[in-house]
Structure 1
Amino acid sequence: MSCSDDQTAPNDALDTLDDAVVAAAFRRLVRLLQHRSDAANIDLMGLAGFCRNCLGDWIAEAGDMDKEAGRAIVHGMPTAAWKNLHHTAATPEQLARMEESMAKNP
């Protein structure tokens, strides 16, 4: 799985938000994803074109850290531990939805 690059539009309204507001909303999103372990990454990828790993990768890139450190922040634990607890093998249908969804990303 690969996450899309940042493709912000000029004069994006998000850029006008206070950093504290953005941080609070982001933390709420991450905590929801930590709580909703029933929402599989493959399904998130199939619906929205991003998943927990993508968020972790974006944190790592923005914070100049390695991907595992960023992903562990989003998972709330090391990635290997999260996978042991919550990961199931993707079905061919889930993989096809993910590929179709990812093709829509910028």
Structure 2
Amino acid sequence: MDPQTEIELQAAAFRRLQQHLMQDRTDVQNIDMMNLAGFCRNCLSRWYQEAANEKGIEMDKNEAREIFYGMSMDEWKSTFQTEASPEKQATFETAFKENVLDKK
């Protein structure tokens, strides 16, 4: 496979993942994704931001999230986010440390 085709397929897979998370499975909470997989929608938007910044495109966290989510974080939270149990929050603290903070 040539490199350009590989890039196009990777981009198509990313767009499909984004659609799946933002339209098909809005019921899945970010905290559950982080606790189970070590990443969430915010991670994906951060990786998008980092890629843009590496290309010299200035983009902050909120801009990246709005691009990825298709709405502001406030809108997403008020529409789709539910309250997490204390147990989920405790698990998240560990998952976030291991998968985000310790990776920096």
TM-score by length of structure 1 reads 0.75
1:70 counterpart = 2:59: no
1:44 counterpart = 2:33: yes
Richer in helix (by share): 2
Task: Return 5+ residue gaps in structure 1 as ranges.
Answer: 1-14
Q: Distance in 1 between matches of 2:28 and 2:67?
A: 17
Q: Structure 2 matches for 1:1-106, cutoff 5 A?
A: 18-35=6-23, 36-64=25-53, 65-102=59-96, 104-105=98-99, 106=103
Q: RMSD of the TM alignment (CA)?
A: 1.9
Contact 1:47 1:98 in 2 (8 A): no
Report Cα offsets for 1:29-68 as digits up to 9, x if no partner: 0110002110001111110111111111111111121111
Q: Distance in 1 between matches of 2:97 and 2:73?
A: 25
Report Cα offsets for 1:61-80 as digits up to 9, x if no partner: 11121111111122121111
Moved beyond 4 Å, runs of 4+:
none
Amino acid at match of 1:85: T
Q: What's the counterpart of residue 4 of structure 1?
A: none
- % identical aligned pairs: 46
Larger relative contact order (Cα-Cα within 8 Å, sequence gap ≥ 6): 1
Report Cα offsets for 1:18-37 as digits up to 9, x if no partner: 11111000000011000211
